[in-house]
Amino acid sequence: MDDAQRNALLAGQQAGSRYALVMPRRVPLGLVGAQVGRQAGSSLDFKDHREYQPGDDLRRIDWSAYARSDRLTIKLYREEVSPHVDILIDGSASMALPGSRKAEGVIGVAAAIAAAASNSHYTHNTWIARDGCHPVMHGSDPPALWQGVDFTYKDTLHSSLVQLPPRWRSHSIRVVISDLLYMGDPLATLQLLSNNAAVIAVVQVLASSDTEPPQRGSIRLVDSETGQLQEVFVDASTQKRYRAALARHQENWSRAATQVGAVMTTLVAENVLDQWDLSPLVEAEVFQPA
């Protein structure tokens, strides 16, 4: 990380400290945070009894009940779910789009989420999606200690997930930070993310130049990841067509996110970095003021 990214990391951490991570209403599994989970677990809180079934932990047999009824009964306790957030940062080259502050925005938002998770007493781990998903050095620590976040990968987030999935913690809250600007079925990607996840939040971070096409004129487009060139004459019609394509793409992702129970929101890096306005995350019920 360069100095600008490091500064964004710290600023994001500071901004995120004003928020707490919110467990979405659609959390399907277990307890989040200090609440009990839906399944029987190893907490001290008693939930119920049931007959012993082969394979049950013998340590959980209620011998007193056996004495009273001569039936092996298993004492069920409520499961205590340890809330955890896995933050996956898209490490593709497009995330550090030249001429934009996109990389700073991505790092800042990731730091803010980590900071908000800490405010909610959630543990967190941070992953970077490159040639496979790798943990960020000191990614479980406060963001200020993170090391090794870079954006050099020349392929898509989906291929990285396929190549080497993160070792997610089971039932963790998974937050994916990416620009999502690649061809492919969003649902396929999200299904990889949703496997054994408590909840998924998709945070799309774009540069302002991603949201707004270039001004009128002849443009030689350069793909930041592949280096592929394409010449196009930009005018109002072209700009309109570009915006429509972006909206359609976002709609596809949003629809896919809905299908897997994920929430999705979009941030513009430059806007975030100017005032650290994270209200879109609040509106998406990912954050709430601490």
Partner 1 sequence: MPLALLALASLPALAAIYWLRNRYRRHTVSSLMLWQDTLQSKEGGTRINRLQTPLLFLIELAVLAILAFAATGPRFLSATTHLPLKVVLDDSYSMRATVGGAAAAAGDVSAKLTARDRAIKAIDAELRGGTYAVQFVLAGREPRVLGEPVRDVAEAMRQLDGWRCGSSESDLERAIAVASELGGARSRVLVITDRKPDTEPKAGLVEWRAFGVPTANVAFVGATRSRQPDRQRCLFEIANLSATATKAELVIEKVADGAAESSGAGVIERKTVELDANATRNVFIDLKPDAPAVRARLTGDALPVDNDVLLLRPIDRPVRVHVNIADQALAAQVNRALDAVDNVTRSETSAELLLTDGSSIRATDPRLWAVRFTVEPDAVPYLGPFVIDYNHPLTDGLALRGAIWGAGKTQDLPGRPLVTAGNVTLISDVEQAEGRHDLRIRFTPGSSTVQDTPNWPVLMWNLVQWRASHTPGPRDANVKLGDDAAIALDPRTESVTVTRPDGAVEKMPAGAERLLIPADQPGVWRVVTNKGDYAYAVNTMHRNESDLRDLASGDWGSWAESDKFRWEYRNIAWVLALIAVTLLVTHMALISRSTGKGVTNL
- Positions that interact with partner 1 (CB under 8 A): 94, 97-99, 102, 179, 181-183, 206-207, 209-210, 214, 217-225, 228, 230-233, 235, 237-238, 241-242, 244-246, 249
How far apart are CB 274 and partner 1 at their closest, in Å?
20
- Measured from the CB atom, the residue of 110 and 117 that comes closer to partner 1 is 110
- Measured from the CB atom, the residue of 123 and 252 that comes closer to partner 1 is 252
**Distant-in-sequence, close-in-space partners of 79: CB < 8 Å, separation ≥ 6:** 30, 31, 36, 37, 38, 39, 40, 41, 42, 43
Distances in Å between the alpha carbon of 136 and those of 87, 90, 109, 126, 133? Answer: 10, 12, 15, 5, 9
State residue 135 phi and psi, 5-degree precision.
-70, 140
How far apart are CB 246 and partner 1 at their closest, in Å?
5
How far apart are CB 221 and partner 1 at their closest, in Å?
5
State the Cα–Cα distance between residues 42 and 188, nearest whole angstrom: 34
- Measured from the CB atom, the residue of 43 and 239 that comes closer to partner 1 is 239
Distances in Å between the alpha carbon of 9 and those of 12, 144, 177, 258? Answer: 5, 7, 14, 30
- Measured from the CB atom, the residue of 38 and 249 that comes closer to partner 1 is 249
* Token pair listed for 96: 């550090």
How far apart are CB 241 and partner 1 at their closest, in Å?
5
How many angstroms separate the most distant Cα atoms in the chain? 87
Do 73 and 132 touch, CB atoms closer than 8 A? no
- Measured from the CB atom, the residue of 242 and 276 that comes closer to partner 1 is 242
- Measured from the CB atom, the residue of 223 and 283 that comes closer to partner 1 is 223
How far apart are CB 138 and partner 1 at their closest, in Å?
28
How far apart are CB 32 and partner 1 at their closest, in Å?
34
State the Cα–Cα distance between residues 272 and 104, nearest whole angstrom: 10
- Measured from the CB atom, the residue of 123 and 159 that comes closer to partner 1 is 159
State residue 60 phi and psi, 5-degree precision.
-100, 5
Tokens 């710290």, residue located: 10
How far apart are CB 85 and partner 1 at their closest, in Å?
26
